[in-house]
């Protein structure tokens, strides 16, 4: 899970760098699309197979959602 979080942070940084105009519709659309893709991937994760840290990260995600 930690590696997944690091990857998402890096991906978001790259998307924001590529779409450099902060409030452009294209940037917002791409960011939302990326978030939806990652949330879809996360929803397929089996909670019981996660490490203790992974479970905490997953629950924190649900809390802040």
Binned at pLDDT 50, 70 and 90, residue 15 comes out as: very high
In this predicted structure, the answer to whether residue 65 has a pLDDT above a threshold of 70 is no
Distance CA 46, CA 58 (A): 11
Structural domain of 15: 2-64
Q: pLDDT for 16-58, tens place per residue?
A: 999 999 899 999 999 999 989 988 888 887 888 888 988 888 8
Token pair, residue 49, equals 């197979």
pLDDT value, residue 33: 95
Alpha helices in 1-65 (DSSP H): 2-18, 25-43, 52-64
Counting the structural domains of the chain, the total is 1
pLDDT value, residue 54: 85
In angstroms, what is the C-alpha Rg of the chain? 13
In this predicted structure, the answer to whether residue 62 has a pLDDT above a threshold of 70 is no
């Amino acid at each position: 899970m930690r590696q997944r979080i690091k990857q998402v942070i890096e991906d978001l940084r790259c998307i924001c760098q590529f779409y450099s105009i902060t409030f452009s519709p294209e940037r917002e659309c791409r960011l939302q699309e990326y978030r939806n893709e990652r949330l879809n991937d996360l929803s397929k994760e089996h909670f019981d197979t996660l490490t203790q840290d992974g479970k905490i990260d997953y629950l924190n995600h649900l809390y802040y959602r």
